[in-house]
């Protein structure tokens, strides 16, 4: 009888938890859809505006959800980094001072300790990771410098508040701030490179055939596409040429059947 009672309690708790989870999910679906739609709208608006303000009129409402989901996927590394940094963002000042305070056994401030620790971070972490990023040997290294530079920046700021006459913390805090901003930029570049058309997409030959037919010998690049239009930039000579024109094609052209028709 006791076993049955325990089982019934377990079933009640499980059902109750499931109902609560379902209710929370149901209540937050409109918010999630709104966020996804907003992200998709911002992404599309930015890409069209980047071509020219005139092309914003080619904005596609039916593209919003898919663009929003795509942007959420691209931002995943930033979500992971934010979660990792949350303890350092919300921790109190005492934690930083006690953990990183450059003092000796008698609690006397030692400037050389602060200098040595910061130089080690700059040379071994920032320097090594910068080499990896700028030589493109390991572009993900910017995520590591983002984490280290944020922690170093906050530590130097907090210690600078404690030792107001010690400019060493202002100096290294500023360096870490610059590295942090640079790391955010390069992480964004690495993440959003996937927002471009992949090189192995064979359907790009469809566009090439159409453009070669109308503008033989011209260089081109696909700069953006939504579910209705394909935006291409055409160059008379090379892709580095400053003068260019924009050619808009219907998205229906982005199919193999259209390619075959254009060849016929």
Residue with tokens 């303890």: 87
- Spatial separation of the C-alpha atoms in residues 157 and 162, rounded to whole Å: 9
pLDDT at 196: 64
pLDDT for the residue 239: 56
Asked if the model's pLDDT at residue 87 lies above 90, the reply is no
Rg, C-alpha atoms of the chain: 27
Contact by Cβ (8 Å): 169, 156: yes
What residues does 222 pair with on adjacent strands? 232
Whether 161 has a pLDDT exceeding 80, the answer reads yes
Does the pLDDT of residue 91 top 80, yes or no? Answer: no
What are the angstrom distances between the C-alpha of 190 and each of 26, 140, 185?
Answer: 35, 7, 9
With a cut of 70, say whether residue 14 has pLDDT above it: no
User: How confident is the model over 135-140, as a mean pLDDT?
Assistant: 79
Report pLDDT digits (tens) over 28-73.
677 777 888 888 888 888 888 888 888 998 898 888 888 888 888 8
Task: Read off the tokens for 83.
Answer: 């979660």
Q: What is the pLDDT of residue 215?
A: 81
Q: Band of the pLDDT at 106, cuts 50, 70, 90?
A: confident
CA angle (192 as vertex; 191, 193 as ends), nearest 5? 95
pLDDT of 197 reads 65
pLDDT value for 189:
78
Lowest mean pLDDT, pick from 84-88, 162-166, 237-241: 237-241
Give the mean model confidence (pLDDT) for residues 229-240: 76
Q: Report pLDDT digits (tens) over 164-222.
A: 888 889 999 999 999 999 988 888 777 666 556 666 676 777 778 888 888 887 888 88
Which of the four pLDDT bands, split at 50, 70 and 90, describes residue 95?
A: low
Q: What is the pLDDT of residue 13?
A: 42
| Angle made by CA atoms 35, 40, 45, in degrees to the nearest 5 | 125
CB 189 within 8 A of CB 213: no
pLDDT of res. 174:
92
pLDDT of residue 262 exceeding 60, the answer is: no
CA 30, CA 28: separation in Å to the nearest integer? Answer: 6
Distances (CA, A) of 74 to 40, 235, 249: 12, 30, 27
Predicted structure pTM score: 0.59
Question: How is the chain split into domains, by residue range?
Answer: 2-69, 75-194, 204-263
3-state secondary structure labels for all residues of 58-115: HCCHHHHHHHHHHHHHHCHHHHHHHHHHHHHHHCCHHHHHHHHCCECCCCCECHHHHH
């Amino acid at each position: 009888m006791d076993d049955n009672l325990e089982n019934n309690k377990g079933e009640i708790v499980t059902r109750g938890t499931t109902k609560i989870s379902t209710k929370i999910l149901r209540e937050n679906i409109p918010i999630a859809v709104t966020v996804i739609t907003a992200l998709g709208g911002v992404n599309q608006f930015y890409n069209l505006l980047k071509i020219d303000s005139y092309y914003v009129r080619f904005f596609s409402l039916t593209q919003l959800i898919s663009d929003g989901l795509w942007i959420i996927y691209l931002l995943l590394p930033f979500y992971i980094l934010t979660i990792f940094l949350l303890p350092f963002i919300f921790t109190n000042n005492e934690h930083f001072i006690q953990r990183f305070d450059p003092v000796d056994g008698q609690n006397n401030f030692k400037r050389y300790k602060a200098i040595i620790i910061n130089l080690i971070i700059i040379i071994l972490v920032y320097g090594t990771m910068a080499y990896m990023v700028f030589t493109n040997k390991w572009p993900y290294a910017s995520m590591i410098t983002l984490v280290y530079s944020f922690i170093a920046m906050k530590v130097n700021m907090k210690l600078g508040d404690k030792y107001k006459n010690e400019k060493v913390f202002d100096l290294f805090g500023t360096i870490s701030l610059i590295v942090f901003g640079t790391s955010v930029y390069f992480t964004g570049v690495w993440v959003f490179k996937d927002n471009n058309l992949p090189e192995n997409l064979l359907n790009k030959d469809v566009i090439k055939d159409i453009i070669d037919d109308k503008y033989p010998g011209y260089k081109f690049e696909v700069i953006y596409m939504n579910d209705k239009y394909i935006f291409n930039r055409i160059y008379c000579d090379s892709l580095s040429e400053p003068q260019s024109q924009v050619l808009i094609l219907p998205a229906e052209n982005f199919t193999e059947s259209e390619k075959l028709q254009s060849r016929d």
